A and B are shown apart, each in its own frame.
Chain A
């Protein structure tokens, strides 16, 4: 197989350059995908270390390891880095690698811009992380940076935070424009929108969400910048502004943002479950419509994050019912995944294990979300560990499990080698146990009334906090095993076949393993409606 690639290489003089400049100047979607994935993994470890600082401090009641000021910086930076540095770039990396290969395109539509969108990120996060060493410390106002905490009472480093958010926003917007233009213009001849794999569909919809809400985030941080430095009073009540306005504008961005982090995960799982159940995806059309409905609903439910600000009762009722409506399309999806597995000849390789865990644990997170949507109940749950448990269940065993599932599923295609299945399964079980031991007890302490974002707590929460911290360290350190497995797989292993998995469908499995540097330079002939 490698001989074939060599010939290809010689014919076109289009192989990768040598050395560091290959990565700096590359416009190849596979190189950029790889860069995004490594970057996001690095950020995952950095954000993870911050989570471990938090959990170590919370291992026992009282203040042991860090001062409260630093604890606040850790909760803030952990959230920002995991959301903007780990989860979002990982999905952009997957999109870069997979979207062109899945639709039979030679590359992304705007390759130079693709290079810029990636290379902005190290600067953005370099700037964000540098605030840790500044006078007054890093941002300490929580990842939701509510005004006036983030304006009047913020440390001086907030300006760097604002510019870092601007850069991340520009990067995401450019990346999303690229995805949309690629999908709408570069599909292989004959591939209709409803023929596209679900991962491509979910990314198309996610990209639209990003294009719609990242500018609003840029707007809200610009308003903060003006309040802090130019004497405006968008959020300063004394000057005629309103801090509650901040929450509205922020969550108008923030709610679609949480779907930005989960819709591509739906796409990944919808690719993996059919493969290992050896059945077609149940209800393809309904999956597409459900994704689109979730995306639409995400724009009109934002105020459920702020039921306690003092809203008119009509507003609370509206946001409660609108939020609960989201359970319908989400339920359709979960039903379809289960129906796909129904009577399938299932095998349980690592990607499938992560995908099944995703379905189960994401559903748990979704159900606690429904509990939070109930206005009178939310008044009790608001800002407790119940909320922390809820969004970590949808983000860690949700988004992050799906990213790991995707990594295991497509690694053989990317590297040409099979990963070590035994180690992969070990990694899965350690992560699965770790994640549940960490976050399930947080439901209990949250319902018992422990507030989030504090470095200390009352004695009655001690036992479950200790359990949660032990789970966190188990989960955290088992990710080093993931790193080892990936490196081992890149360096060698059993040669992967082109199809890799015997139930896999899609254009990416028709090219060689490892995927040559250039694929689909001429558009592929589609197999007769096999995608539909």
Chain B
């Protein structure tokens, strides 16, 4: 009556599309990360910076860098920058710290997530050392000054005179525990 094999062929093709799209949904995750890294969208900064060229120091230019510290919901720690603003010369290395104190009654693990505004300046903000590269574990009542060492790239567009580096501190105690268990 009807060509059964033609039907089966269409059905199989469509099922393979379904599986393909399911995989594509998951492929969007790394694709999104790559897209954000390339374009600096979302204000995401990269990992530890390794100088690929000697950066020229532009003594005539001063850029204001503002530091912000936020707690994510339900994160009890005290968290603030030691210095709120720095006037920096592009190309030079600067050091600063962020203060954190665990005022909760238990040991907690935290992760700081950085974000730079304006977004298109994110790729010019180089961190050679940052507490955000690893999780911070503090016992109850413990406090710490967490180091940050950075360079502003001299290629930073001239229109950008102020940069804001904002950290949000997340409670990842559970996540770290389940990660350790694996």
The chain A residues found within 8 Å of chain B, CB to CB, are 109-110, 173, 176-177, 180-181, 184-186, 211-220, 223, 231, 233-234, 236-239, 242, 244-245, 248-249, 252, 310-312, 315
Please judge, given known A-B contacts A215-B21, A233-B175, whether A185 and B6 are in contact too, CB under 8 Å: yes
In the complex, chain A residues whose CB is within 8 Å of the CB of B49: none
Q: CB-nearest residue of chain A relative to B40?
A: A312
Pairwise interchain contact A177-B120, C-beta atoms closer than 8 A: no
Pairwise interchain contact B22-A231, C-beta atoms closer than 8 A: no
CB distance from B175 to the nearest CB of A (A): 5
In the complex, chain B residues whose CB is within 8 Å of the CB of A212: 17, 21
Of B18, B113, B178, B182, most buried by chain A (CB within 10 Å of CB) is B18
Report which of A109, A214, A239 forms a contact with B175, defined as CB distance below 8 A. Answer: A239
Pairwise interchain contact B41-A311, C-beta atoms closer than 8 A: yes
Pairwise interchain contact A248-B32, C-beta atoms closer than 8 A: yes
Residue-by-residue, is B25-65 near A (CB-CB < 8 Å gives 1, otherwise 0)? 11011001100100101110000000000000000000000
Pairwise interchain contact A245-B21, C-beta atoms closer than 8 A: no
CA distance A386 to B172 in the complex (A): 38
Q: CB-nearest residue of chain B relative to A170?
A: B18
Pairwise interchain contact A310-B119, C-beta atoms closer than 8 A: yes
5 of the cross-chain contacts (CB-CB < 8 Å) are A109-B11, A215-B24, A215-B25, A238-B171, A242-B42
Pairwise interchain contact A110-B21, C-beta atoms closer than 8 A: no
In the complex, chain A residues whose CB is within 8 Å of the CB of B43: 310
Please judge, given known A-B contacts A238-B111, A242-B32, whether A185 and B2 are in contact too, CB under 8 Å: yes
Pairwise interchain contact B25-A177, C-beta atoms closer than 8 A: no
Total number of B residues with any Cβ neighbor in A under 8 Å: 40
The chain B residues found within 8 Å of chain A, CB to CB, are 2-3, 6-7, 10-11, 14-15, 17-22, 24-26, 28-29, 32-33, 36, 39, 41-43, 72, 111, 113, 119-120, 168, 170-172, 174-175, 178-179, 182
Please judge, given known A-B contacts A173-B18, A177-B15, A211-B17, whether A231 and B2 are in contact too, CB under 8 Å: no
Given contacts A217-B25, A219-B25, 13 further A-B contacts (CB under 8 A): A181-B10, A185-B3, A211-B14, A211-B17, A212-B21, A216-B25, A220-B25, A231-B178, A234-B29, A238-B113, A238-B170, A244-B42, A312-B120
Total number of residue pairs linking A and B with CB closer than 8 Å = 103
Please judge, given known A-B contacts A211-B18, A311-B41, whether A239 and B25 are in contact too, CB under 8 Å: no
Report which of B14, B25, B120, B175 forms a contact with A236, defined as CB distance below 8 A. Answer: B175
Please judge, given known A-B contacts A238-B171, A238-B172, A242-B32, whether A181 and B7 are in contact too, CB under 8 Å: yes
Q: CB-nearest residue of chain A relative to B24?
A: A216
CA distance A234 to B27 in the complex (A): 12
CA distance A50 to B14 in the complex (A): 36
In the complex, chain A residues whose CB is within 8 Å of the CB of B111: 238-239
Pairwise interchain contact A238-B72, C-beta atoms closer than 8 A: yes
Please judge, given known A-B contacts A185-B7, A244-B42, whether A231 and B179 are in contact too, CB under 8 Å: yes
Pairwise interchain contact B14-A180, C-beta atoms closer than 8 A: yes
Pairwise interchain contact A180-B25, C-beta atoms closer than 8 A: no
Which 9 pairs of residues, A with B, have the shortest CB-CB distance?
Answer: A238-B170, A219-B25, A231-B178, A215-B22, A215-B21, A216-B25, A177-B14, A238-B172, A181-B10
Pairwise interchain contact A231-B175, C-beta atoms closer than 8 A: yes
Pairwise interchain contact A213-B21, C-beta atoms closer than 8 A: yes
In the complex, chain A residues whose CB is within 8 Å of the CB of B28: 216, 245, 248-249, 252
Q: CB-nearest residue of chain A relative to B42?
A: A244
Of B43, B113, B178, most buried by chain A (CB within 10 Å of CB) is B113
Q: CB-nearest residue of chain B relative to A180?
A: B14
Pairwise interchain contact B7-A109, C-beta atoms closer than 8 A: yes
CA distance A249 to B168 in the complex (A): 24
CA distance A75 to B21 in the complex (A): 30
Pairwise interchain contact B41-A177, C-beta atoms closer than 8 A: no
Of A214, A231, A234, A248, most buried by chain B (CB within 10 Å of CB) is A231
Pairwise interchain contact A185-B171, C-beta atoms closer than 8 A: no
Pairwise interchain contact A186-B10, C-beta atoms closer than 8 A: no
CA distance A242 to B43 in the complex (A): 12
In the complex, chain A residues whose CB is within 8 Å of the CB of B170: 236-239
In the complex, chain A residues whose CB is within 8 Å of the CB of B7: 109-110, 181, 185
Please judge, given known A-B contacts A236-B175, A239-B111, A248-B32, whether A185 and B41 are in contact too, CB under 8 Å: no
CB distance from A176 to the nearest CB of B (A): 8
Report which of A181, A244, A312 forms a contact with B14, defined as CB distance below 8 A. Answer: A181
Pairwise interchain contact B42-A238, C-beta atoms closer than 8 A: no
CA distance A218 to B18 in the complex (A): 10
In the complex, chain B residues whose CB is within 8 Å of the CB of A315: 41
Pairwise interchain contact A249-B6, C-beta atoms closer than 8 A: no
